[in-house]
C-alpha cells in the first residue's frame, strides 16, 4: 500500500513537471509543488529531482531563451538584442541559434575577440616598432574566418591590423625559414620579444600557459616524460637536481627552451646573433652571460618531446597541438569566456562533453561557441 502510494505520488509529481514543460515560469511552480507535497521519502525526492533535471535540460522555454539571448548579445556584440532578434529567438532553439549565429558573423564579435586576446596575451599596440597586436590578430582572424584553431600555434603567416595575411617580421623576408620554423603566435616577433628571458624559459612557460591553460602553474608538463636525468645539463644551474625538484620541471622545459635559441632577444629569427650580450641579441643566462644550448642539454643530446627528437619550435607546436591538453584548453577557454569566469577555472563537469566537440568541429571556434551558448548551464545562467 505504501509502495502504491509512493509510486502514485511520484507519477503525479512527474506528471506535473511534464505538464509545466511549456510554461515559462517553470522553476517557481515546480518549487511550490515540491514544498506543498511534504513527502519525506528520500528515494522519491531523488527520483523526482532526477526527472526534474532531465526535463529541464531540454526545456528551452521562451523566457529562458529570451534571457539567454540577452546574455549572448551582451557577450558577443556588446549590446542588447533588438525586438526582431528577441522575437525570432523565443520561437525555439533553432530561432535562438540563428540569432546567435548572426552575432558570430558580425564586426562587433570580431572586435570582442580581438580585445579578449589582447588582454589574454597582455599585448597590444606598437612597442619599439613591433606590432604587439599580431598574436591577437592571428587568433581573431582564425576564429572569424572559421579556420582551424590549431593554426594559432602552427600558422606560417602573421596577420596585420587590417586582418590581412602578411609575412612575419620575425623572419625578415626569409621565406624558407618562415615555412620551416614559423609557429603561429609563438614565433610572432611580439611574443618572442615580450617573453625573452634567461635561457628562454619564459617563452616556453608562456606558450604552455596560454595554450594548455596553465597560467598559475605552467610546469611540469605531466603528459611528457621529458629527458632522462643524464641528458640535462648542470653546467650553469642545477637543472638536473632531483632532490630540489628542479629536474621535475626542467627535464621537459630545457628541451623546449633550446629550440628558442634560434630567435634573438629582439624577436628575430637569427642564427648569427652578436656575441656581445650588451648588444641585446644573444640568449643570456640569469646572470647576463652568453648562454648556449649546452647550458640546458648535455653535449650531443637532441631535444625530446614525448621521447622523440624535436627539430624546431614549429615541430614542437605541431605536436603539442595534437595533445589533449591543447584541445581541452580550447573548450575551457571559450567556456570561461562565455560564462565570464577567469581563464584558469577548469571546465565544469557538466560541460566536459565540449572537449569532444572541439574535435567534432575540426577546431573551429564559432560552432563550439554556439554549443556553449546553448548549453543548459549558459541558458539557465547556472
What does the binding site for ligand HEC look like in residue numbers (CB under 6 A)? 197-199, 201-202, 205, 218-220, 237-238, 241, 244-246, 248-250, 286
Give min distance, CB of 216 to ligand HEC, in A: 11
Give min distance, CB of 321 to ligand HEC, in A: 21
Q: Specify whether the CB–CB gap between 149 and 140 falls below 8 A.
A: no
Sign of CA dihedral 96, 97, 102, 106: positive
Q: Specify whether the CB–CB gap between 281 and 264 falls below 8 A.
A: yes
Give min distance, CB of 272 to ligand HEC, in A: 24
Residue number with CB closer to ligand HEC (68 or 212): 212
Sign of CA dihedral 138, 144, 147, 150: positive
Rounded CA separation 4/83 (Å): 50
Phi, psi (5° rounding) for residue 152?
-60, -25
Residue number with CB closer to ligand HEC (195 or 269): 195
Length of the chain: 382
| Unique residue bearing C-alpha cell 597582455 | 122
Residue number with CB closer to ligand HEC (283 or 375): 283
| Unique residue bearing C-alpha cell 589582447 | 118
Residue number with CB closer to ligand HEC (118 or 233): 233
Give min distance, CB of 244 to ligand HEC, in A: 4
Residue number with CB closer to ligand HEC (199 or 211): 199
**In 10 A of CB 180, how many CB atoms?**
14
Give min distance, CB of 243 to ligand HEC, in A: 9
Q: Provide the CB-side half-sphere exposure for 349 (13 A, CA).
A: 0
Give min distance, CB of 221 to ligand HEC, in A: 10
Residue number with CB closer to ligand HEC (220 or 303): 220
E strand or H helix that includes residue 304: strand 304-305
Rounded CA separation 312/154 (Å): 12
Amino acid at each position: 500500500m505504501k509502495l502504491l502510494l509512493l509510486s502514485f505520488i511520484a507519477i503525479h509529481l512527474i506528471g506535473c513537471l511534464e505538464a509545466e514543460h511549456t510554461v515559462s515560469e517553470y522553476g517557481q511552480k515546480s518549487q511550490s509543488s515540491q514544498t506543498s507535497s511534504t513527502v519525506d521519502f528520500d528515494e522519491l525526492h531523488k527520483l523526482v529531482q532526477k526527472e526534474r533535471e532531465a526535463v529541464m535540460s531540454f526545456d528551452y522555454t521562451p523566457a529562458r531563451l529570451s534571457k539567454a539571448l540577452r546574455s549572448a548579445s551582451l557577450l558577443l556584440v556588446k549590446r542588447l538584442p533588438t525586438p526582431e532578434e528577441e522575437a525570432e529567438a523565443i520561437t525555439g532553439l533553432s530561432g535562438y541559434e540563428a540569432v546567435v549565429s548572426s552575432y558570430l558573423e558580425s564586426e562587433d564579435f570580431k572586435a570582442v575577440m580581438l580585445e579578449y586576446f589582447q588582454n589574454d596575451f597582455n599585448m597590444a599596440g606598437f612597442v619599439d616598432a613591433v606590432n604587439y597586436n599580431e598574436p591577437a590578430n592571428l587568433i581573431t582572424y582564425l576564429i572569424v574566418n572559421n579556420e582551424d584553431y590549431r593554426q594559432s600555434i602552427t600558422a606560417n603567416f602573421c596577420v596585420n591590423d587590417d586582418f590581412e595575411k602578411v609575412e612575419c617580421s620575425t623572419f625578415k623576408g626569409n621565406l624558407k625559414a618562415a615555412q620551416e620554423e614559423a609557429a603561429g603566435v609563438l614565433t610572432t616577433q611580439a611574443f618572442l620579444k615580450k617573453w625573452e628571458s634567461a635561457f628562454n624559459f619564459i617563452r616556453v612557460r608562456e606558450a604552455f600557459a596560454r595554450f594548455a591553460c596553465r597560467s598559475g602553474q605552467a610546469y611540469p608538463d605531466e603528459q611528457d616524460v621529458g629527458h632522462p636525468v643524464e641528458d640535462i645539463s648542470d653546467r650553469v644551474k642545477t637543472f638536473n637536481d632531483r632532490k630540489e625538484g628542479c629536474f621535475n620541471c626542467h627535464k621537459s622545459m630545457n628541451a623546449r627552451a633550446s629550440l628558442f635559441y634560434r630567435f634573438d632577444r629582439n624577436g628575430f629569427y637569427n642564427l648569427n646573433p652578436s656575441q656581445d650580450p650588451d648588444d641585446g641579441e644573444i640568449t643570456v643566462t640569469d646572470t647576463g652571460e652568453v648562454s648556449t644550448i649546452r647550458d640546458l642539454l648535455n653535449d650531443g643530446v637532441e631535444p625530446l618531446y614525448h621521447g622523440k627528437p624535436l627539430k624546431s619550435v614549429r615541430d614542437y607546436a605541431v605536436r603539442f597541438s595534437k595533445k589533449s591538453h591543447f584541445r581541452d584548453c580550447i573548450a575551457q577557454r571559450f567556456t570561461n569566456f562565455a560564462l565570464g569566469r577567469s581563464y584558469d577555472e577548469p571546465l565544469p563537469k557538466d560541460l566536459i562533453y565540449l572537449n569532444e566537440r572541439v574535435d567534432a568541429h575540426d577546431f573551429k571556434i564559432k560552432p563550439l561557441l554556439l554549443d556553449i551558448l546553448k548549453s543548459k548551464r549558459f541558458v539557465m545562467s547556472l
